Amino acid sequence: MEKCKMYIGGNWEDSGSGKTFTTLNPATGEEIFSVPCADQADVDRAVKAARAALPVWSRMKQSERSKALYKIADAIRENAEEMAMLEVREHGTPYNDAIGVVYGAADKFEYAAGTAPTLMGRHVPVGDGALSYLQREPVGVVGLITPWNLPTIMNAVKLAPALAVGNTCVLKPASINSRIGLKMAEIISQAGLPPGTVNVVTGPGGSVGSALASHPDVDMIGFTGSSETGKQILADAAKTVKKCVMELGGNNPAIIMEDADVDASLKVLGWRQFNNSGQHCSAPGRYYVHERIYDEFLNKYVAYAKTVTVGDPADKKTVMGPLVSQEHLEKVQWYIEKGIEEGARLLYGGVRPGNLEKGFFLMPTIICDASHHMTIAKEEVFGPVAVIIRYSDKDDITALANDSPYGLCAHVWTQNLPKGMKLINDLHVGAVFINCQMLTNEQLWGTSIKESGLGKEGGMEGMAEFTDLKLVCVNYDI
Ligand code: NDP
């Protein structure tokens, strides 16, 4: 088993206590990496290193910072095969997706390097004899706490903008795929950033993540994960009034209207549902399918699910790999059983594929005849499970879609575009996808609606979250 070290102040270190934990290959259940288990003292050292690096990194010319980020993007591309295989081995991402994820992470650094120079201060007119402007500054030392569901991308989407505008960072990756976070540190260590600019500490969220969130010398937390953890982090961060940007849970409605192009909808939604084993925050959590096309939708969804090859993520023919852990697999299975117990029908899947004895695998699963009030429709399943509810003209579809503690995004499928667009204002969500699902570097993600988050990630708006605006007023008429 490979032994890994943490990255603190430009050095590779064990945890101060010498404690370690292991990460697994979800396709086999085997232990693959031994990772340092940090504690409060390690977090303190990482934060101290980041604080010491801040004056150097934040006052560097923007062009120099951007050059360093371009180097990181190049290093990711040069190491793409190795990074993709880590995604395959430690997360279970099928190879063809993993390689795309790695190049996507490189793009995040390139985008941040290119756009940060345009995120400048603003002149504010105040009349003769005086000058007033808004100066954009980095927030300072930023704690980044990331989830396991898209590890390479999740680390990149936070590190890139935070660094580009001059913050120094302490990253705590999800424990389950800690090695992937440490690989990012290895890549960054090749780009010549001042020591301490990026630090990566590994260990349990409840102790290491919480130590970061409550640390008095951390200025901001950038977090992606569940709403429950988000609330705990907000409580910790409140002790020192930290800025928090939170990308939290969702249970996204997909409204399939009577005039939807069912084949086109399944190409997009089916892929989103089963790709990465449905462990996507933007995947549909509940489908409302109009009664006039309900049977067609079900039949075609089953046909689609049958085309999804489940298996070894290292095999290039595999479309869907395992779920991330035994614990998560059991949670998803519990939701399926609960759905059936509450009266929904298991239409397809719901079991481990017969040919796969080891690993945390589940067949693509379709649950139909669900109702809006069932547990499986109300809570976030976060797995390869399509939960399908029939609706009719008598239902208030926007009221059903909005009836959730979450408001991350919504999907609408219709060939009557004006009718679909009428929903935009009524859907209380951070993103509406009509007849598509697209996310590019330029677009932002995230929302401050209900329990799905606070602030934005990605795009210019996401980068701006990592800055503060200082008001400067100068009287030159004295
Ligand atoms: P968790 O909330 O369980 O964990 C996320 C991170 O927080 C991990 O690094 C975890 O550490 C850490 N953590 C756990 N407890 C604490 C704590 N008390 N204080 C500080 N840090 C803590 O989420 P998952 O990893 O299970 O990810 C899945 C969730 O993420 C889903 O709810 C999904 O919707 C959401 N998500 C949201 C996205 C969005 O853009 N809105 C995008 C992707 C995912 P450890 O790993 O050690 O437990």
User: Ligand 1 pocket: which of 21, 23, 43, 145 to mutate (most atoms <8 Å of CB)?
Assistant: 145
Averaged pLDDT of the chain: 97
User: In sequence order, which residues have a C-beta less than 8 Å from that of residue 299 and are 6 or more positions away?
Assistant: none
Residue pointed to by tokens 């604080």: 51
- Give the amino acid at 138: P
Closest CA to 383 of 321, 449, 453: 321
Whether the predicted pLDDT of 300 surpasses 90: yes
Query: Quick one: DSSP state of residue 38?
Result: -
Say whether 409 is catalytic. no
Whether the predicted pLDDT of 53 surpasses 90: yes
What is the model's pLDDT at position 329?
98
Using one digit for the tens of pLDDT, what is the confidence trace for 333-391? 999 999 999 999 999 999 999 999 999 999 999 999 999 999 999 999 999 999 999 99
Using one digit for the tens of pLDDT, what is the confidence trace for 20-48? 999 999 999 999 999 999 999 999 999 99
Using one digit for the tens of pLDDT, what is the confidence trace for 405-425? 999 999 999 999 999 999 999
Report which ligand 1 atom has the smallest distance to the Cα of 176.
Answer: 46
**pLDDT, average across residues 150-175:** 98
Q: Which domains does the chain have, with CATH numbers?
A: 2-248+452-472 (3.40.605.10), 252-434 (3.40.309.10)
Whether the predicted pLDDT of 123 surpasses 90: no
Report which ligand 1 atom has the smallest distance to the Cα of 250.
Answer: 34
Task: Quote the CA–CA distance of 151 and 87 in Å, as a whole number.
Answer: 8
Name the pLDDT band for 106 (thresholds 50, 70, 90). very high
Say whether 281 is catalytic. yes
Whether the predicted pLDDT of 121 surpasses 90: no
CA 224 to ligand 1 center in whole angstroms: 6
Name the pLDDT band for 439 (thresholds 50, 70, 90). confident
Indicate which residue of 110, 247, 451, 465 is catalytic: 247
What is the model's pLDDT at position 297?
98
Task: Quote the CA–CA distance of 111 and 76 in Å, as a whole number.
Answer: 14
Ligand 1: residue whose CA is nearest its atom 22: 205
CA 393 to ligand 1 center in whole angstroms: 38
Report which ligand 1 atom has the smallest distance to the Cα of 408.
Answer: 41
Task: Quote the CA–CA distance of 414 and 428 in Å, as a whole number.
Answer: 19
Ligand 1 pocket (Cβ < 6 Å) reads: 145-149, 172, 174-176, 204-206, 209-210, 213, 224-226, 229, 232-233, 247-250, 281, 380, 382, 408, 445-446, 453
Whether the predicted pLDDT of 124 surpasses 90: no
Report which ligand 1 atom has the smallest distance to the Cα of 147.
Answer: 25
What is the model's pLDDT at position 351?
97
